[in-house]
Chain A
Amino acid sequence: MLTPGRLTQFVLLAATFVHGAAVAQSSTATITGRVVDAATGQPIVGASVTLSVAAGGPLLPPTRPSETNADGVFSIPDVPLGRWHVRVQKIGFFMVGGGVRGPVIDVAANGTLPDINLARGGAIAGRVLDARSRPASDISVTALQRPAGHVVMEQTNDLGEFRLAGLPAGEYVVVARPRIDPSAMNGQAASRTVVVETYYHGATELRHATPFTVTPGATTSAFDLQMLSVPAYQVSGVVMDVSGRAAAGARLELVPVPGTPRGSPLRATTGPDGTFQIASVPVGVYLIDVTAGLESMRSDRVVVDGGDVTGLRVVVVP
């Protein structure tokens, strides 16, 4: 049977005893349910339902998504027994009381969940411009609920426009970043200026961001957001151990201190002679995280201001 966990919002219908005895042999179960519009009770068609492992649950990847049918019904077969988050996604909607990852269910047998309610959220729409005031396409724009909470991300279209929908009522800040996840990138050309994370209305720091108030079912129109671009320089040097031997293959990352504009993650690996070079570092103050072999450490501050920083010596202390 299904036992509710602390966060459990749903209770599965218990199977009959006869049924239960047979199912108890099995290590997986089929979970079905229905997704409805909280305001109208109407089924929501084409919502995507995914189960992901809850804390203390089996170490497994999320289930394949199930899509609700014309009656709003979904069915997820072969769910390994254990505790799972239920996450339902439908553009323009959010889960009522779902939290960020969705409520937790304890799957112990086949069962049907009570109806899952989605509510139509509010939206923030606007446009992103580049440093020369032209529409900036392929920019990733994120609405972050304040304090912590809901996060919605979209990309700007060819006109630089974005629309962040399905937001629960509340206060949000909006931040724009270059689209590509830099951790997926293989090298980057050096540049003397770099585009940095920009919050409405033109701040590089969250604390200077102007929040938006979102109300259900309404669209808040944002002004044009101009991406900020700052001068950038190169940081280079050598990593060595305490006896002065070059540390080859050491991994470095420049970590901006609060107040420093954030561009792409700034990472490098040292060559056979222990040297490294990181291009396109926005002006600001950084700490260097170094991992050499099994040792990890964080350096003192490095200030990048008005010129390349060369000849840094990073000594890894065991």
Chain B
Amino acid sequence: MNRLTLVVLLAATFAQGAAVAQSSTARITGRVVYVATGEPIIGARVILSFVSPPGSRGTPVPSRLTATNADGVFSIPDLPLGRWQIRVQTAGFFMVGWNGPPPVIEVTTSGRVPDVQMDLGGAIAGRVLDATANPAGGISVVALQRIRRPDGTMAPGGYSVTERTNDLGEFRLAGLPAGEYVVLARPTTVPATVRTPVASPTVFVETYYHGVTELAHAAPFTVTSGATTAALDLKMIVVPAYRVSGVALDAGGRPVPGTVVRLWTSGAVASPLSVTAQSDGTFRIVNVPAGTYRVQASPPSRPPTETAISFREAPVQEIVVHGGDVAGIQVTVGQP
């Protein structure tokens, strides 16, 4: 058994074991319970993910999904033998031991795993308003646990829950283990990877309670088990937005289409703004709030075949966006 192995399957009898040893799959059953009362939890999502042995190659084993029945029981047939990680999700609850190593079962034969214990979390509820103080629907709101460092300062990390505001701008972040949390509203409803950005004169920026753009200035909430902490209205911060444009070149000054250019900041925008250079090597990143950014440029993952040049990351440069568009940025991704 491995150090991470938390649950051990019931051993089959020897006679059965001999027969089962021929098989390369097994059926696993288990039960999900509320730790405080031992009551079964009905309709919980149970996800099993295969833990690939180190160095293994080949087709990844797909994850398996099921739900607990009226007795809180789940059963997954035809599991390839090996190590599987169990995750259980049910609104308002969190897995006991979430902050330890994830529970892993060693599936060697069909059997029943020990009960998966869930505990009732606390909740933070509130409302998000737009810049004109109207309810902002469809906004992502995140509760992010803060962990106290040994030196007494607080750092983000630990548990997090994300929800979207309803048409009245209301949100409810539930199932939070007791602790200190900051809450932030994220501007977009569409993941950045699938978004087609449209240049906008102003943009929402990530806004923390009570109306700040920096994590360091965020006001924390204390969450206790089974209780709802009511948050005040959070008004999204809207700022002017600008464009940053330039060209990606190789060492010989030739354009490098497909270069991925990212703008990183520690300020208002937590995740990088990114764009791919066009066929003439030019790029334009829209909706950039004022601030200081690091420009990172990665060469295309598949360089054009006609060039024998080897590419590398461009040296990181810093730019300041303040009160207007920034043009003429040159990134060099070619080997000198």
Contact = CB atoms under 8 A, between A and B. Distances in A.
B75 interface: yes
* For the complex of A and B, 3 pairs with smallest distance between CB atoms: A92-B167, A158-B92, A69-B200
Interface stretch (A18-26, A136-144, A237-245, A252-260): A136-144
Contacts of B43: 136-139, 178-180, 195
A189 B75 contact: yes
A71 B189 contact: no
A189 B28 CA distance: 10
Contacts, number: 153
Given A91-B166, A158-B172, A163-B167, A185 B65 contact: yes
A90 B138 contact: yes
A310 B139 CA distance: 52
Interface of A is mostly: loop
A225 B168 CA distance: 22
Interface in A175-212: 178-180, 184-195
Nearest to B75: A189
Contacts of A138: 43-45, 90-91
B74 interface: yes
B78 to A, nearest CB: 7
B198 A74 contact: yes
Interface of A: 45-46, 48, 64-71, 73-77, 90-93, 120, 123, 130-131, 136-139, 155-159, 163, 165-166, 178-180, 184-195, 229, 280
B73 interface: yes
Interface of B: 27, 29, 42-45, 64-71, 73-78, 90-93, 123, 130, 136-139, 164-168, 172, 174-175, 187-190, 194-196, 198-204, 238, 287
Contacts of B203: 69-70
28 contacts: A46-B136, A46-B187, A64-B194, A64-B195, A67-B190, A69-B199, A70-B201, A73-B198, A91-B165, A91-B167, A92-B137, A123-B167, A131-B70, A138-B91, A139-B43, A157-B91, A159-B92, A179-B45, A180-B43, A180-B45, A180-B66, A188-B66, A188-B75, A189-B71, A189-B73, A190-B75, A195-B42, A195-B43
Contacts of B90: 137-138
Contacts of A188: 66-67, 69, 74-75
A189 B40 CA distance: 14
A171 to B, nearest CB: 20
